[in-house]
Structure formats: C-alpha cells, structure tokens
Amino acid sequence: MTPVPDVPAARLSDPVAVRDMADRLNRPDFDRWAARTRATGGCAQPVHLRGHVEYRDKLTGVLLRRFSSGTEPGGTLRVACKTRRASRCPACAETYRADTYQLVRAGLSGGKGVPDTVAEHPAAFVTLTAPSFGPVHTRREKNGKAQPCRPRRDAGTCSHGRPVSCTARHTADDPRLGQPICPDCFDYRAAVLWNAHAPELWRRFTLAVRRQIAKAGGLRVGELRAHLTLSFAKVAEYQRRGLVHFHAVLRLDGPGGPIAPPPAWATYDLLADAVRHAATAVTARTPQSNDVPAHTLTWGEQLDIRPITATGTLTDRAVAGYIAKYATKAAESTGTVDRRIRATDDVNTLPVTDHARRLITACLDLAAVEELAGLRLDQWAHMLGFRGHFSTKSRRYSTTLGRLRADRCAHNEREHHATTGRLPFDDDGVLITTHWNYVGQGLTPGEALLTAALTGRPLPPLDSRHARSPVGRPGPDRR
Ligand SMILES: [Zn+2]
Ligand SMILES: [Zn+2]
Ligand SMILES: [Zn+2]
C-alpha cells in the first residue's frame, strides 16, 4: 500500500477538494492511480485516453500481449499534456524547460550526439528587440539603485492633457511597468502589426546575416553553404509592454553543421559585424489598405551581441539556462490571457490589464481589415498579434526535443519492464497496433492535491480552470 502522501496544508481548507481526495485515496485502485500519476511526471492536466495496444506475431498473427485502458482506474489511460506553458502545467513546462536547456547546451558545449569540438566554434548570444511605439513606464538601475522613470523638466503635457514626465522610481514589481505613460499616445495598431511581422523580420534577419557573411568571405550567397553553416536556436520573450523580442544563439559551423569547424576567416568578430549590419538593414512592410496605412517595420535600436565562451563572462551554461527559462513563458507575463479570444468573449470584461485590453482590441479591429486578413489577428489576439513559434532552431543546431522525449520514453519503458518483469518488445517480428480515443483532460480538485503531493510538483493556481472534472468521468470505477 502506498503511504498516504503529504498534502500542502493551505490547500486543505477547501472541503470539496478534501472530500474528493479522501474518495480517491480510499478506492481499491489507488496504488495503480498513484503509479500512473508518477508516470505522467505530475502533469496538472493529463490527457485521458480510452483504447488499447496489441502486439502480434507478424508471421502467425498470434496475439502476444494486449494492453487495454480498461484495466486502468476510471477505464482511461492518463498521459502527460506536454505543454511548454508554466501557466497551464508547471510539471510539463519544467520538463520542457529542462529539455530546452539540454538542447541549447549541447549546441554550445557538445553532448547528445553533438561533438565536443563545437565549443570552439564562434558563437554569439544576440537579443533583438522591438522599436518604441510610445513611452512606457520603465525601471532603470544605476549601481543597484532605481532611477527616475522618465524625468522631463518643464515638459508639460501631451495632446491628451497627460504629463509626459514620470519621476517615480518604480520597484521591480510595480504593475505600472511596461504600461504606456499615455495610452492614447501609444500606437497600438503599429505595435500588434510589429508582433505579427516579428517572425518575418527574424527570417529576413537570418538571410541578411548569411548574405553579409558571404560578402565578407568574398563568396556569393549561393556558395556559402559549401563553406559554412549558420546554426541558431532562438526563443521569443514578451516584454512587459506587450512586444516580442528574441534571444538567440548564433553559431558558425563547417559545411556539414557542428561536426566540422567553419573556415578560419569566419571568426566571432565577423559574425558580430554581420549581425549588427543585418539587424539595422532589414525591414518588413505591412499591406496597404484604405483604413490602415502601410507600416515599414524594423528592429528596435536596442541590440545586444555578446560572445559565448566556456569560461568567459557569458558561459554556455548561463545562455542555455536563460533561453530555457523563457521557453516556458508565453504572453501571460504581459497581463493577457493564455487562450484564444472567442467570439462570445466580451473584451471589456476579460481579466487582463488595460494595456493588454487595448492591444487585444487593436488585433480584433485590424482583423476586420481585408488586406490584413492573412495575419489572422483575431486568432492570435491573445498573443497580441504574434503567431510565431516560441522556440525554434535551425536544422543543424543540435539534437531535437523529439529525440530527447524519445530517449526519456525508452528509459521509462525499461524501468516499467524492470518493475513488472515483462520483456520489452523490440523484435522486428512483432506487429504493434494501437487504437486510442481522446475522452477528456484534467484532474479533479482532490486529484490535483494528490498529484502535487505524490510528485513534489507545484500545483497550478487554485482558481485555475484545470481544477475541474475531466470529461468522461465518473468512470466505471466510480460507485
Ligand atoms: Zn502536463
Ligand atoms: Zn513611470
Ligand atoms: Zn497622450
């Protein structure tokens, strides 16, 4: 019998959750339920599947083994949701963060199939930002002391009658940070158009870096591939003002990727120059329409380029940690919602900051403009217009998340077989057929408490919409 787990005391004040927890604990299949909970890594919103998997001899068709969800608690198999968003599932987001760390780290110091010699290739940590769409409250520090936000002597007021100066020394958790000093002066439409075009700006940026490197090496762009590869891994991060910026590792490899060094002329300084040039040169133009003038979008002036070394001020370890941390965040940090805005939603009552509400409204307004329909701003309003991937890498950067996941699954399988005494089927002569149906997702309030207690993983917030009964319950084991 599994010992009764410790549950965080603060959560025991909810009588519904406590009754539900006692109910789960007292069921005869609790041990099986607990084992499966551990197998999902403490996922806060596991996917419930009903179905079976069959192993048959390829030649004779004889059934060798059958696993059915019918023997699982509730008649369903629970699998981890695998989200990267910490706001939805802290446990799966932590797995994603750790995998991203391994992936970025392998690309800087070797490992996971990448040779150690990759550490000698020139590599830069680059941050590309968005330009200003209006002054916002900011926190500046000098020698660890907060400086006045935006001091302007005798500056008066803007055309909306608001003071353009802010002399407050904002604390790090001041909710005003990132909010416009005058919302009516802030160009919301241009801001969301910029977010919508950020992936395109990034694409043009990488092309321009390659072009610049080729030029410096006396090559045509088409010839570059035979001499070197520009590999990268990047993450998008939302600034508090609701605009995306990118943190990226850019690395120079030989023609075949990380297995070979780049030519001697392809140095860190050459890479840094190419980045600087490309960041200032590329633009993206938005479509022209009767209602919205065309905007020419560029990167912001703030550009950070630093060398990554094994021992210097910016180590591979620090960079991998930094990128992995941002990989699990979405736009929620800017005060928006972490789900799509539905047609039935009243934007005025959404639980978001005023700034986020104006950004969301700008997306919905622009979505109605025919020429901008391709940006699908209504679908991505909750992301404030950005519809790109949060973390991406070039093909040759290092290993893949899929590969890391497969390795972990194989490891779990081996552990499973070690405990059950069954041999894994890794025989070519075995035919595996699977049939699964999605029947729901989530945990009941009591199950959420038990999951946190059994796995030591944090619980999502109490008011989370995940603390609900999953579809398909009550299951057959419920009396
Ligand atoms: Zn999960
Ligand atoms: Zn301020
Ligand atoms: Zn104003």
| Domain residue limits, the chain | 9-82+402-455, 115-133+187-393, 135-180
CA distance linking residue 165 with residue 73, whole number of Å = 62
Q: What is the pLDDT of residue 419?
A: 45
CA–centroid distance, residue 352 to ligand 2 (Å): 20
CB atoms within 10 A of CB 46: 29
Q: Which ligand is nearest to the CA of 162?
A: 3
Q: What are phi and psi of 431, to 5 degrees?
A: -100, 125
Q: Which ligand is nearest to the CA of 184?
A: 3
Closest by CA position to 75, among listed 116, 39, 36: 36
CA–centroid distance, residue 36 to ligand 1 (Å): 13
Percent of the chain with pLDDT over 70: 89
The token duo for 327 is 């990989």
Closest by CA position to 243, among listed 179, 286, 295: 179
Q: What is the pLDDT of residue 194?
A: 97
Q: What is the pLDDT of residue 468?
A: 38
Closest by CA position to 82, among listed 322, 395, 409: 409
Closest by CA position to 202, among listed 242, 230, 241, 240: 230
Residue in the block written with tokens 């940690």: 321
Question: What are the tens digits of pLDDT across the range 46-77?
Answer: 999 999 888 888 888 888 888 888 888 989 99
Q: Which ligand is nearest to the CA of 42?
A: 1
Query: CA 75, 81, 87 angle in degrees (round to 5)?
Result: 130
CA–centroid distance, residue 292 to ligand 3 (Å): 20
Q: Which ligand is nearest to the CA of 181?
A: 2
CA–centroid distance, residue 157 to ligand 2 (Å): 14
Do 181 and 135 contact (CB within 8 A), yes or no? yes
CA–centroid distance, residue 26 to ligand 1 (Å): 25
**Where do the H-state alpha helices sit in 110-187?**
none
pLDDT > 70? residue 462 = no
Q: What is the pLDDT of residue 229?
A: 94
CA–centroid distance, residue 150 to ligand 2 (Å): 6
CA–centroid distance, residue 210 to ligand 3 (Å): 41
Residues 6+ apart with CB under 8 A from 33: 24, 27, 73
CA distance linking residue 325 with residue 337, whole number of Å = 20
CA–centroid distance, residue 179 to ligand 2 (Å): 9
Q: Which ligand is nearest to the CA of 95?
A: 1
Does the CA dihedral 251-256-259-264 come out positive or negative? negative
CA–centroid distance, residue 161 to ligand 3 (Å): 7
- Which of 174 and 408 is assigned the larger pLDDT? 174
Q: Which ligand is nearest to the CA of 177?
A: 2
CA–centroid distance, residue 176 to ligand 3 (Å): 16
CA–centroid distance, residue 135 to ligand 3 (Å): 10
CA–centroid distance, residue 161 to ligand 2 (Å): 16
SS3 (DSSP) at 247 = strand
Q: How far is CA 83 from CA 217, 259, 444, in A?
A: 42, 32, 19
CA–centroid distance, residue 148 to ligand 3 (Å): 20
Percent of the chain with pLDDT over 90: 46
Q: Which ligand is nearest to the CA of 443?
A: 1
CA distance linking residue 266 with residue 122, whole number of Å = 8
Strands 229-238 and 77-79: unpaired
pLDDT > 80? residue 312 = no
Q: What is the pLDDT of residue 388?
A: 79
- Dump the DSSP string for 445-478: HHHHHHHHHHH-PPPPPTT-TTBSPPTT-S-TT-
pLDDT > 60? residue 4 = no
CA–centroid distance, residue 132 to ligand 2 (Å): 15
The token duo for 256 is 């075949």
SS3 (DSSP) at 157 = strand
Q: What is the pLDDT of residue 421?
A: 41
CA distance linking residue 112 with residue 407, whole number of Å = 10
CA distance linking residue 309 with residue 433, whole number of Å = 48
b vs e for 111-130, b when ≥16 Cβ sit within 10 Å of the residue's Cβ? eeebeeebbebbbbbbebbb
Q: Which ligand is nearest to the CA of 84?
A: 1
Q: Which ligand is nearest to the CA of 157?
A: 3
SS3 (DSSP) at 144 = coil
Strands 123-128 and 303-307: antiparallel
Q: How confident is the model at residue 466 (pLDDT cuts 50, 70, 90)?
A: very low
Q: Which ligand is nearest to the CA of 91?
A: 1
Strands 430-441 and 47-57: antiparallel
Q: Which ligand is nearest to the CA of 174?
A: 2
Q: Which helix (H) or strand (E) holds 48?
A: strand 47-57
Do 204 and 282 contact (CB within 8 A), yes or no? yes
CA–centroid distance, residue 38 to ligand 1 (Å): 12
CA–centroid distance, residue 237 to ligand 1 (Å): 21
CA–centroid distance, residue 14 to ligand 2 (Å): 40
**Where do the H-state alpha helices sit in 110-250?**
188-216, 221-224
Q: How confident is the model at residue 256 (pLDDT cuts 50, 70, 90)?
A: confident
Q: Which ligand is nearest to the CA of 163?
A: 3
CA–centroid distance, residue 448 to ligand 1 (Å): 12
Q: Which ligand is nearest to the CA of 152?
A: 2
